[in-house]
Structure 1
């Protein structure tokens, strides 16, 4: 069928007296246009479908990859007769090309590993090397991140887009904050002055964290049960924990809790606000501690300037 279409195209080109040297490039251009139009039509249909964002994204990426593959196959078939005499030369040059393009080849292999290795997917929050951000695109050669942190405190975007070669997955650890378990354990510390009602302080901390994170605790418990079936991990407590340590300066409460990976900063804000409001209503029974430095005057120093004779 391909040969029949090619013959028909050549007949049409001959009618317009187009040189035969231009026949194959024009024929290849027609193939490219058809592949592009078909790919665009399929991607538009996928966009209008009821697929979720992740499935839709993967389907579109598969269409793009299939388009490239069809283009390469069509080019090889079209020029196969011309390339037959250069087989040996291409084989010799292939080793040099592979060495020169080793980073590109490694990035392509990394892309395949990302597709089938479940390292991360678009929408995940990851840290690659020292770069932390949300994955917004996974290309054949590069992964694109919306960076967060750096000069911005907390898990907030700084507006910078970072592109990292896919070969990175073979060289450095990949930290995924939202893979199979989209929750994180986080902690805050509350210093309380000695002499305060520490049992009341503990009660305030516990009731506040339970109220703020109760939804996360329930969801995390279900997700962790799934994790124990998939991986060799022990059961973990997803309920909030309040622990006390008495040091030289104050009584310190550490509040440990699970939180959605996208809500760390907002959750800390809610916890500190709730605890501050509750402590303010204790009428001084619970007081926060802070480091205080007291400067005292030096004792008088008597200097004897008389010389001994």
Structure 2
């Protein structure tokens, strides 16, 4: 026995406050054990009914157990409070150190719960725009599309977006439906250009390119409207006029297009329209007018 305690350092000692707590704990445990033993013996000897005896034994055991827990809480209250404060401080430090990771996990839960987008969708978050190719608990990977917010060409760059952005930033999903989308592009003109003819030519070209599948788009959008409870907009191509600045007219073309072919149909329409006509102003310049008057 003495040899087994040889590993204890010679100068090992407990502080007086800790020693008092240990002694108080030992005395409390001994007192509860003795009282429970005496109480159980008294019940077994003096209670004749087995049902009542069993109930009293169980109740006494639970009562002494509760008394012991309360006594330990009173004895070790200050130490338990200090330990709780230390645990809280450690937890706060851990949260501060891993704040970004926690935000990423929260963003992943948010976008999954809201169904913001799926693999293959074209999304935009802040200045990042592209097609989703991978999703993990911490990040979302997209293939960048551009240039700018109106281009539809793959730039060849891969962007890894931390999911923390989805907590504070809105997500634009350009793939509202799985098969057909509305595509919008703008063609600028000067006010003196023949933009009326350009508007007519763009509308005719859009109708011609969309005619083969226009009825399919109409049926699909009606089905989406019924499923989502939305009022489906007209799917017919249209060209609207905007005047963002005093000397310019912008023609905004909106038309239905198959997912993944928006850039193709836009380029087809523009190539057809501008290859067949010149809508620039043909008015003579002031120098030319003065030359004609002199002649």
TM-score by length of 2: 0.54
Q: Give the alignment of 1:1-309 within 5 angstroms.
A: 93-150=90-147, 154-180=151-177, 182-189=180-187, 204-215=201-212, 217-231=214-228, 233-242=230-239, 255-276=253-274, 279=277, 288-290=279-281, 294=285, 296=287
Alpha carbons of 1:215 and 1:138: their partners in 2 closer, same or farther (altered >3 Å)? farther
> Distance in 2 between the 1:128 and 1:245 partners?
27
Q: Is the 8 A contact 1:189 1:254 kept in 2?
A: yes
CA RMSD after TM alignment:
4.4
> Distance in 1 between the 2:118 and 2:222 partners?
22
Q: Unpaired runs of 5+ in structure 1?
A: 1-85, 280-286, 300-309
Alpha carbons of 1:124 and 1:207: their partners in 2 closer, same or farther (altered >3 Å)? same
> Distance in 2 between the 1:251 and 1:113 partners?
42
Q: Is the 8 A contact 1:191 1:290 kept in 2?
A: no
Deviation string, structure 1 residues 159-183 (Cα, Å, up to 9, x no partner): 1111111121110110000033641
Q: Is the 8 A contact 2:192 2:281 kept in 1?
A: no
Structure with greater Cα Rg: 2
Alpha carbons of 1:99 and 1:134: their partners in 2 closer, same or farther (altered >3 Å)? same
Deviation string, structure 1 residues 233-274 (Cα, Å, up to 9, x no partner): 43311011246799x999986643222342222112211233
> Distance in 2 between the 1:123 and 1:234 partners?
26
The alpha carbon displacement at 1:128 in A equals 0.8
> Distance in 2 between the 1:152 and 1:250 partners?
21
The alpha carbon displacement at 1:211 in A equals 2.2
The alpha carbon displacement at 1:152 in A equals 11
